[in-house]
């Protein structure tokens, strides 16, 4: 039985949409799961120094701690991952927010504080 061109086009469209949705879901899951663990990095700009992040993951929500060299201390953090490798998190006690991207065992981005902004980067050193 031959199908009309309109039916063939509809079938192909449904398959393309289904495959792209599945691919996006797998990519988001892969990025999210790769974030959990311990990361070390550096930041520069309004503040310069080093940090250590310890993440756990529930769905796309991140929870953990960040140890900063300046202002020195260990602080609770919360955040989330987004499709396409995006990440955002905040350190409420020091008024800092971070945005960036994750790619495998590397992540980088920008931070904002009441005293100025800057950039940051980190490398994963262990899995969560």
Residue 17 lies in a domain: no
Residue 27 lies in a domain: no
> Residue 108 in contact with residue 119, Cβ under 8 Å?
yes
27-33 mean pLDDT: 42
Residue 99 lies in a domain: yes
User: Which domain covers residue 49, as residue numbers?
Assistant: 32-127
**Res 10 pLDDT > 70:** no
Residue 9 lies in a domain: no
Return all residues near 128 (Cβ < 8 A) that are at least 6 apart. 35, 36, 37, 38, 55, 56, 57
pLDDT digits (tens, 9 = 90+) for 79-116: 998 888 899 999 878 889 999 999 999 999 999 999 99
**What pLDDT, on the 0 to 100 scale, is given for residue 24?**
37
Question: Could you give phi then psi for residue 124, rounded to 5 degrees?
Answer: -75, 130
> Residue 91 in contact with residue 77, Cβ under 8 Å?
yes
> What's the predicted TM-score (pTM) here?
0.71
Residue 95 lies in a domain: yes
Q: CA 91 to CA 117: how far, in whole Å?
A: 14
pLDDT digits (tens, 9 = 90+) for 40-85: 999 999 999 999 999 998 888 999 999 999 888 999 999 998 888 8
**What pLDDT, on the 0 to 100 scale, is given for residue 83?**
82
- Structural domain count of the chain: 1
Residue 19 lies in a domain: no
Q: CA 75 to CA 47: how far, in whole Å?
A: 16
């Amino acid at each position: 039985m031959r199908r009309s061109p309109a039916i063939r086009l509809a079938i192909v469209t449904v398959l393309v949409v289904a495959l792209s949705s599945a691919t996006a879901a797998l990519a988001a899951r892969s990025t999210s799961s790769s974030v959990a663990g311990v990361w070390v990095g550096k930041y520069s700009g309004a503040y310069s120094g080093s940090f250590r992040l310890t993440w756990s993951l529930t769905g796309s929500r991140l929870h953990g701690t960040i140890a900063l060299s300046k202002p020195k201390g260990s602080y609770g953090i919360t955040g989330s991952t987004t499709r396409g490798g995006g990440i955002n998190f905040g350190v409420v006690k020091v008024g800092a927010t971070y945005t960036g991207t994750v790619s495998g065992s590397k992540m980088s981005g920008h931070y904002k504080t009441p005293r100025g902004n800057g950039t940051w980067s980190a490398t994963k050193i262990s899995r969560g």
